[in-house]
Amino acid sequence: MAETDQKSHILIIDDDDRLRALISRFLAEQGFRVTSASNAEEARQHIAGIIFDCLVVDVMMPGESGLDLVRDLKSTSPSLPCLMLTAMGEPGHRLHGLETGADDYMTKPFEPQELALRIKNILARNTAISAAARSDQDPDAAIRFGPHLFELTREQLTTAGKRQHLTTAEKHLLACFCRNPQQILSREQLSDMLGGQMEGRSIDVAVARLRRKIEPNPSKPIYLLTVRGRGWSLETDRSASW
């Protein structure tokens, strides 16, 4: 059995029970971790609690289509890799799928080996892009939001030029948000980014503490926003009068 690095986790979304089971079994044999969903609603439930390395999405599904699902997911998580499947082979349908933000597109029927190869290529490309972004990052980069400035390298926060005291946990948590501005981060994603040092309730508490230090009114946040059922997002394009 061919093993993939760190067992990349794939979400298969297809309303065809037989095909979904076949794809899931084959990818598992290739060394992937696999979760499956029969529709967009079930997929969203999985995505809310699990970090996936790639989605394989059928275009035509009852209820919300695969095109609409990918378009919505890409609007908040543009780097999430998605490969789309369809029984429609016309070039226009393929282009429409790619325009939603999909990373690749396959028509049914297809060879399972080709699907696995395309997933591996998407993952390798995504890893290379992430590595390039990290290597190009200015070590002195800082993120501004309102009167705040957070220096990524030193993990130091200043407000209107005055240094703010942050605990080690608060520094690391704010760094996660500042490295991913305007992106929704779930508890599970934050826990992974923090190497498991915080999880569940401890992340909720740390977010509340951060808000007391960065928000004009912590009960009505304008920077560190809650996205109900999904996590939090740091807004960096707002200003506030303190």
Whether 2 is in a domain gets the answer: no
Same domain, yes or no, for 115 and 149? Answer: no
Same domain, yes or no, for 194 and 216? Answer: yes
Same domain, yes or no, for 165 and 80? Answer: no
Residue 75 has pLDDT above 70, yes or no: yes
CATH, residue 226: 1.10.10.10
Same domain, yes or no, for 208 and 166? Answer: yes
Same domain, yes or no, for 107 and 202? Answer: no
User: Using one digit for the tens of pLDDT, what is the confidence trace for 112-151?
Assistant: 999 999 999 888 877 765 555 554 555 457 889 989 999 9
Whether 152 is in a domain gets the answer: yes
Same domain, yes or no, for 131 and 149? Answer: no
Of 158, 151, 202, nearest to 179 by C-alpha is 151
Give the pLDDT band (50/70/90) at residue 69: very high
Same domain, yes or no, for 15 and 131? Answer: yes
Angle of the 40-49 helix axis to the 66-76 helix axis, nearest 10: 30
The pLDDT score that the predictor gives to residue 114 is: 94
Over residues 227-241, the mean pLDDT reads 73
The burial of 69, by beta-carbon neighbours within 10 Å (0-12 exposed, 13-18 middle, 19 or more buried), is given as buried
Asked if residues 198 and 190 have their Cβ atoms less than 8 Å apart, the reply is: yes
The pLDDT score that the predictor gives to residue 169 is: 83
Q: Which of 95, 115, 135 is the last residue of a domain?
A: 135
Q: Which of 104, 119, 135 is the last residue of a domain?
A: 135
User: Using one digit for the tens of pLDDT, what is the confidence trace for 159-214?
Assistant: 988 898 888 888 889 999 998 888 899 988 998 888 777 777 889 888 999 999 99
Determine the Cα–Cα distance for residues 12 and 23; give it in Å rounded to an integer.
Answer: 8
Task: Give the residue, 50 or 95, on which the prediction is more confident.
Answer: 50
Same domain, yes or no, for 87 and 193? Answer: no
The pLDDT score that the predictor gives to residue 78 is: 73
Q: Which of 104, 135, 166 is the last residue of a domain?
A: 135
Asked if residues 158 and 171 have their Cβ atoms less than 8 Å apart, the reply is: no
Over residues 19-34, the mean pLDDT reads 95
Task: Give the residue, 74 or 225, on which the prediction is more confident.
Answer: 225
Q: Round the average pLDDT of the chain to a whole number and report it.
A: 84
Give the pLDDT band (50/70/90) at residue 242: very low
Domain count, the chain: 2
Same domain, yes or no, for 109 and 49? Answer: yes
Residue 231 has pLDDT above 50, yes or no: yes
The pLDDT score that the predictor gives to residue 200 is: 78
Q: What is the largest CA-CA distance in the chain?
A: 62
Domain with 209 in it: 142-234
The pLDDT score that the predictor gives to residue 41 is: 95
The pLDDT score that the predictor gives to residue 49 is: 81
Same domain, yes or no, for 82 and 37? Answer: yes
Same domain, yes or no, for 15 and 128? Answer: yes
The pLDDT score that the predictor gives to residue 97 is: 62
Same domain, yes or no, for 125 and 155? Answer: no
The pLDDT score that the predictor gives to residue 128 is: 64
Determine the Cα–Cα distance for residues 147 and 199; give it in Å rounded to an integer.
Answer: 29
The pLDDT score that the predictor gives to residue 92 is: 59
Determine the Cα–Cα distance for residues 63 and 205; give it in Å rounded to an integer.
Answer: 37
Whether 198 is in a domain gets the answer: yes
Angle of the 112-136 helix axis to the 17-29 helix axis, nearest 10: 60
pTM metric for this prediction: 0.55
Residue 3 has pLDDT above 80, yes or no: no
CATH, residue 42: 3.40.50.2300
The pLDDT score that the predictor gives to residue 113 is: 94
